[in-house]
Chains A and B, each alone.
Chain A
């Protein structure tokens, strides 16, 4: 068994995927009629159409499979031993992935029974198990009013730090999402948006531009576009004018596209602000005030100046959150990324300062595990406040 690495600097990993091992794990959290419903009809927990885009290998790291042979990511102790302890990770933002399957479901009642059970299970069995685990509860666009109610049901609970919003065909700036955003602002919880795998698979999915990519890898190159498109839509639709306290975390959409995208928006807005009547200031300012992005999948460049240029984009030091995507096949190695990729001058901000500003102090509820003189985010020039 591995032991914890002595640690002095907090590290918040903003993309860790836990799983329940067997559907029976959810039984205590499901009303009887829904338990029977799912037992009789099955539960589709994967969003990607596997008969359309087959993954060429496996979607998870083989070494992340617990010894007992259970699903990768399903063992809370194994995740601590293999991922959290060796790298000294202070907090993991848990983004359960089995709920991604509901993006292909049509029955909103079934969706919300399943999501509520997932939220309760991961709260009880992971968040309450270790204070390094923090959960973004999952809601879907099937019924925004029920989503808002689910957010309010969990608001204020220890370890609940965000809301994982699943995406279907509607863009995030659509006014139908307003009840969800209102509940998030009321609870001080940021939205986290992670690719679900359903993108480009169904009529109910968002798509990449241009058409249907041929292979898994080709699709993966351009999947970032969906995240970028929603950033644009949130701004152009005036969402941040309606909800000035809303914060959105874009998880696993990359970030090297951000600088040219915001430059383009600013240029077009400068040339004719009336073309975007709901935008009241520079589009890039909305990004700075409301958006954060996770580091994984970190682009891989060969030349030092490219790394320097990537990280020298104005304001990026306040936008990035460290993430690993454990236990997926393309996990970014925390040691490599933190020590060899992220510039030293922005390391504390990316490792935890920006996470504290986004999620509030509640993301560091395990801070007592760290040397006291290094737990105060303000000592690193970061403003922390509990939202």
Chain B
């Protein structure tokens, strides 16, 4: 079984969303600069010409795989929006559009977009969505400048856990760029190249916050997938997590075991860009438990990795990795043909 945990879908024109929102909000969004900004969502960290503008949907996108989780990435960019009220209308429309978009294709699953700025509303969105359709297979939580271990996210984690859905975290591209979005490490980075290089630090900080915040003690069934951040850095992070916990565990008594244990039980990372892991994979990802954290994510259509690229880099263990997404997307497995 091949499970792709990092596909992207997007509307070609924001006007497509108007039929998925109340008329008063249609009037709000019917403005040239908003409609014209549709391409920005895919271009914030566009690095190469292979970052696709077109959106592959439906049977073509799912031809290679048995199950594909698609994130409507345009919705992630609300982490750089100033108007978080309008943002909720926007992602509600995207949720409605994406489920309709994937309806005809058995392998396609969609992530429910929620807002980090309104966890209570987000929890309701999750509960209502899963009651309407079994095609939602994850909760896509855009990153805000509040780290994921904050108690304010508990409502989202509770709803996701109750719905048996993983929380998927993927950068939008405006991190470290737009005011209000979470910062990248260091200071101001003026190139997309530098920002893309440093994106994994967002996952590092989020994982650290989830562990040191005690989130996995509160929600032992929570599954969190960090998608698009690579994974070669994971061993280094695990060493640091456990070292600091050993030094300061009396300061965080609610963290009851080495943080690496939480990560090895509850956190997954997708493969893109797999090429950066050529050295670390054979030397450091030697235990099955650690390897099981790595799931296939093509990142298609943004300069994505093919199944062949996974096999070329990960060798004998590639086939296992291609299927590692199964437990992450467990809710969907029963529906896979």
Contact = CB atoms under 8 A, between A and B. Distances in A.
Interface of A: 56, 169-171, 206-218, 220-222, 224-226, 228-230, 232-233, 236, 254, 256-257, 259-261, 263-269, 271-272, 275-276, 279, 297, 299-301, 305-306, 308-309, 312-314, 330
B200 interface: yes
B243 interface: yes
B299 to A, nearest CB: 13
Given A211-B145, A275-B191, A301-B239, A263 B278 contact: yes
Contacts of B205: 208-211, 213, 222, 225
Contacts of A269: 193
B201 A228 contact: yes
B222 interface: no
Contacts of B130: none
Given A256-B235, A260-B232, A271-B47, A216 B251 contact: yes
Given A236-B193, A301-B239, A306-B235, A263 B276 contact: yes
Interface string B143-159: 11111011000000000
Interface stretch (B64-72, B178-186, B321-329): B178-186
B48 A218 contact: no
Nearest to B208: A221
Contact of B186 (A230, A268, A300, A314): A230
A276 B193 contact: yes
A299 to B, nearest CB: 4
A218 B209 contact: yes
Contact of B206 (A210, A271, A308, A313): A210
A313 B278 CA distance: 12
B216 interface: no
B284 to A, nearest CB: 5
B24 interface: no
Contacts of B279: 259, 263, 313-314
B200 A264 contact: yes
B245 interface: yes
B240 A272 contact: no
Contact of B277 (A218, A254, A263, A265): A263
B186 A297 contact: no
B241 interface: yes
A229 B184 contact: yes
A253 to B, nearest CB: 11
B283 interface: yes
B197 interface: yes
Contact of A226 (B186, B200, B236, B252): B186
B306 to A, nearest CB: 14
Contacts of A170: 187
A173 to B, nearest CB: 9
